[in-house]
Amino acid sequence: MKKFAFVSDFDGTLSSRDFYHIIIDKYMGNGGKEFYIEWKKTKKINVEFLNRIFGSINLSEEQIFDEIIKIPIDVHAKSFINNVKENNGDFYIVSAGTSYYIKILLEYLGLKDVKVISMEGIYSKGGIEIIPDSSSPYYSDIFGLDKRKVVESIRKDYEYIFFAGDSEPDLGAAKAADMVYARGELEELLRKEGIGFTAFSDFKQIEKDLLEKGWLK
């Protein structure tokens, strides 16, 4: 059994903005923003929503690649991930987006040995199509991927599980982890349910906390 795993959401956690927000702002204008607002009134941000956004980009695959490598990542993420690995921990990215853009960005940034658990995605008709796997043990009929099931599955291999997230799809994983770092919407959701967490603004702050607690050196 390994010492610990650090499990992180991608969009809005490792990245400073959700990729779909970047696409809306850059390619969909006011119509995209209105669509997002109306959708949020009655529905969750799920695969159907993401596929409508990512399916409307109307770019070549090379142009989409250029947008992916511009996704703003926490400037402290790379050093934090390396520190986790140097201290006998594993780093996981668990995302209800798609591994299509996450793996492209990780490769571009030279981030290796990061375990990515997400949904498959393909370039299709000028955009990205997310393809949930209903046979996956992590399948969710709401978000396409159930992060809580991921955390519950991997925890048998680790003494301790840390989790960082920012939004509703992260709530289940936060409940299943031993210690939670939260920001954004996830903070309010955890408060409502009376679940303890540590608020964070960036991964340097998380690293400092783990250094003080003795998990990192």
With respect to residue 179, please indicate whether it lies within any of the assigned structural domains: yes
With respect to residue 146, please indicate whether it lies within any of the assigned structural domains: yes
Q: What mean pLDDT is predicted for residues 20-30?
A: 94
With respect to residue 43, please indicate whether it lies within any of the assigned structural domains: no
With respect to residue 197, please indicate whether it lies within any of the assigned structural domains: yes
Question: pTM, whole model, 2 decimals?
Answer: 0.95
With respect to residue 152, please indicate whether it lies within any of the assigned structural domains: yes
Domain that holds residue 163: 2-18+70-212
> Total domain count for the chain?
1
Sheet holding 179-182, edge to edge: 127-131, 115-124, 89-98, 2-8, 158-165, 179-182, 198-199
* pLDDT, position 212: 97
Check which CATH number belongs to the domain holding 182 and give it.
3.40.50.1000
pLDDT tens-place string over residues 171-202: 999 999 999 999 999 999 999 999 999 999 99
The yes-or-no verdict on residue 29 having pLDDT over 90 is no
With respect to residue 23, please indicate whether it lies within any of the assigned structural domains: no
The yes-or-no verdict on residue 113 having pLDDT over 90 is no
With respect to residue 134, please indicate whether it lies within any of the assigned structural domains: yes
Q: Which of 93, 92, 100, 147 is nearest to 119 (CA)?
A: 100
Contact 150, 161 (CB under 8 A): no
Q: What DSSP string describes 71-120?
A: S-B-TTHHHHHHHHHHTTEEEEEEEEEEHHHHHHHHHHHT--S-EEEEEE
Mean per-residue pLDDT over the chain, rounded: 96
With respect to residue 52, please indicate whether it lies within any of the assigned structural domains: no
pLDDT tens-place string over residues 45-82: 999 999 999 999 999 999 999 999 999 999 999 999 99
pLDDT tens-place string over residues 151-166: 999 999 999 999 999 9
d(CA 128, CA 22): 14
